[in-house]
Amino acid sequence: MDVRGFAGSALPRLPHTLRILLENALAAAGDEQADESARLLLERARGGRPAGEIAFRPGRILMHDTTSVPALVDVAALRDAVAERGGDPASLNPVLPIHAMIDHSVAVDRFASSDAISFNMKREMARNAERYRFLKWADRTFENLTVFPPGTGILHTVNIEWLSKVAVRDPRDARLVRPDTLVGTDSHTPMINALGMLAWGVGGLEAEMAMFGLPLTLALPKVVGVRLTGRLRPGVMATDLALVVTERLRRHGVVGAFVEFFGEGLGHLPVGARAAVANMAPEYGATTGFFPIDRHTLRYLRTTGRDEGHVALVEAFARLQGLWAEPDSVPDYDETVEIDLDGLATTIAGPTRPQDAQAPAAVAAWAETRPDTDGALPPAAVAIAAITSCTNSADPRMLVAAGLLARNARRLGLKPPPWVKTSFAPGSTVATRYLERAGLLSDLAAVGFDVVGIGCTTCIGNSGPLVPEVEAAVRERGAEVVAVLSGNRNFSRRVHPLIENGFLCSPPMVVAFALAGSLRGDIGHRPLGRSGDGREVRLEDIWPGEAEIDAAVTAGLDSGDIGRSYGEAMDSPDWAALDAPSSTRFPWDPASTYLRRPPFVERGRVRQPGSLVAAPLIVLGDDITTDHISPAGAIPPEGSAGRHLQGQGQDARDLNVFAARRGNFEVMLRGAFTNRNAENLLCPEARPGETVTLLDPVPVPAFEAAARMCEAGHRLVMVAGERYGSGSSRDWAAKGPALLGVEAVLASSFERIHRSNLIGMGILPLRLPAGVHVSALGLEPSSRIEIDADPAAIEPGAAVPVLIETDGRETRFTAHALVDTAQECELLRHGGVLPFMLNRTTHAKPARKAV
């Protein structure tokens, strides 16, 4: 669509992300929402600051196994419901292309061994065969869905290396070229914006709307420009930049904003480095972090095997449509932040938040405060050292730097101490090919970093068991250990349920900390160990030089690796051998512990928002992440979910992880809020996942208390502090509360994707006014919370009166409904996305509110 012709001389004022949204609107010209979107964006280009809704129609959808399974389980259940209402179940079929990667399920059961990858992948297939059969059924049954077998790679790495086109021909008219756009059911979807594409993460519920052709609506976003100057100094990695950007933008405040990077510093950042920064967008709170198209984009496309004709098409299209990065052009940003690349140094984030960036010396000072509780381990011992995640393993320079550091350590005879669990899980087999070609794969293996799998592994919590002596020291003697990883999140107990503290750093720094074995002492100055002849070895002795890195990257990269790697992965014999049904409706097995038909659209369960008098079910503080609400890691056998599974005949020694059980609502309901750090302020001394209510004055599991309260006719709400729902995009952080009967959540602030997921489940998000914090409300189980939210009056940003009564004390204030668009209001009136889709398919009206 002719963006330049439509906007004229005003186009250079419009940020690049909004230019892509404008093109998206013009492509749907004639649709009322699209025309209004184009009008708003033109006004913005002309210097206005209009308020309104933008309708976005992505070109495709990206998913992974632990988000695609629950989403496709929802669709399978909707097909059943349509059939039961006399409709055609096959009418529910995705209209957009969907790419679903199986990447989140491989665990590090075996490490530091040449057969680790084959062993771990066999364990993965055995553990998850039932889920994988379901995904294969979906691949056979749904048009436009392609499922990629285990071992293909992490979805964001596969997307940037192979799937992304940047510019695509319009399927309706091959003469037209359009931007390649997408949404993904993983919060780190913005990684692809390193190529100049526009994408962001959504919850599975939003993805379900998009897959059936509904536009995604959002308030016209604020756009924050980040001016980059200078260039990174030798020894400073892209991870260091990503962590500094995360810290600076969290401090600045960009939640829900679009972030664009510009300035002369872009010319010194290749796409691999940009990917590390764009990937961290959810960590700095933005909807998306975007780099415009330039010569680095074209170079990356060539390096990854795109043909010259397509590369030429991308360049011509970008220049014609005003999407090419012009170094002297500065769009009209709402706000601007400046970062000088010259001033950056080695950076580490921790111990529990990715925005807590600090220098190595500060980490060492933190380690000095850790108690010496176990003589067999040093204080702040490194129990896990993992080169992992899409964030850093997509940048060849960083993996090559790690390999060169490992080579230098190997030559001097250095190895990690025996308590360190080491692992290397690249985002695709492309990395293993260029590292092997550069002669570095064996060097990594020599210091314990054998390839353990192709997938997310430790980053998502699939770190497997600790070294037995370490686990005994933690469980029996209270030893404090840490994890060090090249990942994107370090929330408490995310990486492993026994590890409270985690630190994020670049891949070569992961190797360095593994060799050191502890965080005690400044890693930049302390000895890492002794060489074979007894000399002390420090980090500077083994850190590779820039020329050495450049030479190894040049020696390793081969554009033909892309086709070879992904061709082999797609021909997986294990996947081909997997049997799966081919029926239109999925044949549910009532004995299954992985896949159960969810009750979200059962008659009588669907609620609409409305005025209500409720009791608090759970009260939480600040920085409650989706990991706290709905854990992804190992299912503890002693917990409610673990006991439930054992009652179904499952082996207590191998219950798998919560992320693998998201197709079973009974397990997920019992796992809600069971993270040890999800302290319920109604009963701080209770065990994780327990609460007290009017009917249960003694702590009981929340799902039991909620069931009794709802059965007795009580309405339920939750209350929380700042940044509620940060972290992963998992929709189960909203589905769990919905199954508990929660109708509204009051919080000081909400993270973007979780707010959307709450609405998708029919739960009203209410922002507490400034000066009213959960800690000052004095809530008790007997508190009476009256919310005046008439369904007919719910509109974007509506003021909602709230009255709280506790022991005769009254607190009145006005909250604000964090509902951004008219479409979100409509979803709430239907009771959420799933009832909306069912009613739309069967032409039914919104369900009446359950009494």
User: Looking at the predicted structure, is the pLDDT value of residue 605 above 70?
Assistant: no
Task: Provide the pLDDT confidence category of residue 171 given band limits of 50, 70 and 90.
Answer: confident
- Residue 87's pLDDT is 93
User: Looking at the predicted structure, is the pLDDT value of residue 622 above 80?
Assistant: yes
- Residue 606's pLDDT is 63
Both structure tokens of 586: 């999925």
- In this structure, the number of other CB atoms found within 10 A of the CB of residue 570 comes to 14
The region of weakest confidence among 280-289, 649-658, 808-817 is 649-658
Task: Provide the pLDDT confidence category of residue 849 given band limits of 50, 70 and 90.
Answer: very low
Which is higher by pLDDT, 206 or 793? 206
Share of the chain above pLDDT 90, in %: 85
- Residue 611's pLDDT is 83
The answer to whether 44 and 50 are in contact (CB under 8 A) is yes
- Residue 821's pLDDT is 86
Alpha carbons 215 and 114: distance in angstroms, whole number: 48
Residue 590 lies in a domain: no
Q: What is the mean pLDDT of the chain?
A: 94
Residue 238 lies in a domain: no
- Residue 4's pLDDT is 93
Give the distance from CA 439 to its chain's centroid.
33
Alpha carbons 25 and 3: distance in angstroms, whole number: 10
Residues contacting residue 601 through CB under 8 Å, at least 6 positions apart: 77, 78, 81, 834, 835, 838
Express the helix, strand and coil content of the chain in percent, nearest 5 each. Answer: 40, 20, 40
Residues contacting residue 9 through CB under 8 Å, at least 6 positions apart: none
The stretch 765-780 carries a mean pLDDT of 94
- Residue 175's pLDDT is 83
**Domain match, 359 and 397 both:** yes
Strand ranges, E, within 220-307: 223-229, 258-262, 288-290
Task: Provide the pLDDT confidence category of residue 424 given band limits of 50, 70 and 90.
Answer: very high
Give the distance from CA 518 to its chain's centroid.
29
**Domain match, 665 and 530 both:** no
* 196 Ramachandran zone, left/alpha/beta (phi>0; psi -120 to 50): left
**Domain match, 460 and 499 both:** yes
The amino acid occupying position 381 is A
The amino acid occupying position 322 is G
The DSSP code sequence of 516-567 is H-BS-S-TTTSEEEE-TTS-EEEHHHHPPPHHHHHHHHHHH--TTHHHHHHH
The answer to whether 279 and 188 are in contact (CB under 8 A) is yes
List pLDDT tens digits, range 497-556: 899 999 999 999 999 999 999 999 999 999 999 998 999 999 999 999 999 999 999 999
**Domain match, 625 and 636 both:** no
- In this structure, the number of other CB atoms found within 10 A of the CB of residue 647 comes to 9
Return the closest-CA partner of residue 480 out of 353, 372, 362.
Answer: 372
**Domain match, 768 and 686 both:** yes
The answer to whether 396 and 434 are in contact (CB under 8 A) is yes
φ, ψ at 167 (rounded to 5°) = -130, 140
Residue 242 lies in a domain: no
State which residues form the domain around 815.
612-629+675-842
- Domain stop point among 190, 215, 240: 215
**Domain match, 41 and 76 both:** no
- Residue 818's pLDDT is 93
SS3 640: helix
Both structure tokens of 740: 């508990």
**Domain match, 63 and 41 both:** no
User: Looking at the predicted structure, is the pLDDT value of residue 451 above 90?
Assistant: yes
- Residue 725's pLDDT is 94
H/E element, 67: helix 65-84
Give the distance from CA 687 to its chain's centroid.
27
- Residue 850's pLDDT is 34
The stretch 50-79 carries a mean pLDDT of 94
Which is higher by pLDDT, 393 or 481? 481
User: Looking at the predicted structure, is the pLDDT value of residue 410 above 60?
Assistant: yes
Alpha carbons 786 and 803: distance in angstroms, whole number: 5
This prediction has a pTM of: 0.91
Calculated CA dihedral for residues 41, 45, 46, 48, nearest 10 degrees = 60
The region of weakest confidence among 158-162, 340-344, 510-514, 676-680 is 676-680
Residue 103 lies in a domain: yes
User: Looking at the predicted structure, is the pLDDT value of residue 374 above 80?
Assistant: no
Alpha carbons 448 and 111: distance in angstroms, whole number: 8
Q: For residue 746, what is the domain's CATH number? A: 3.20.19.10
Give the distance from CA 566 to its chain's centroid.
23
User: Looking at the predicted structure, is the pLDDT value of residue 608 above 80?
Assistant: no
Residue 302 lies in a domain: no
Residue 388 lies in a domain: yes
H/E element, 790: none
Q: What is the CA radius of gyration of the chain?
A: 26
The stretch 326-353 carries a mean pLDDT of 96
The answer to whether 54 and 22 are in contact (CB under 8 A) is no
Residue 500 lies in a domain: yes
Sign of torsion over alpha carbons 301, 307, 308, 313 = negative
Alpha helices in 294-382 (DSSP H): 295-303, 308-320, 360-368
User: Looking at the predicted structure, is the pLDDT value of residue 848 above 60?
Assistant: no
**Domain match, 399 and 453 both:** yes
CA atoms within 13 A on the CB side of 167: 27
Beta pairing, strands 60-64 & 799-806: unpaired
Residues contacting residue 312 through CB under 8 Å, at least 6 positions apart: none
- Residue 316's pLDDT is 96
**Domain match, 733 and 667 both:** no
**Domain match, 624 and 655 both:** no
The region of weakest confidence among 282-291, 436-445, 831-840 is 831-840
User: Looking at the predicted structure, is the pLDDT value of residue 851 above 50?
Assistant: no
- Domain stop point among 17, 33, 50: 50
Residue 228 lies in a domain: no
Q: For residue 465, what is the domain's CATH number? A: 3.30.499.10
Q: How many domains does the chain have?
A: 5
- Residue 604's pLDDT is 59
User: Looking at the predicted structure, is the pLDDT value of residue 459 above 80?
Assistant: yes
**Domain match, 540 and 680 both:** no
SS3 34: helix
Alpha carbons 810 and 775: distance in angstroms, whole number: 16
The region of weakest confidence among 258-267, 389-398, 497-506, 750-759 is 389-398
**Domain match, 502 and 618 both:** no
The answer to whether 382 and 481 are in contact (CB under 8 A) is yes
Which is higher by pLDDT, 659 or 146? 146
User: Looking at the predicted structure, is the pLDDT value of residue 789 above 90?
Assistant: no
- Residue 389's pLDDT is 83
Task: Provide the pLDDT confidence category of residue 593 given band limits of 50, 70 and 90.
Answer: very high
Give the distance from CA 646 to its chain's centroid.
30
- Residue 835's pLDDT is 92
Distances (CA, A) of 254 to 8, 101, 284: 29, 30, 7
User: Looking at the predicted structure, is the pLDDT value of residue 692 above 70?
Assistant: yes
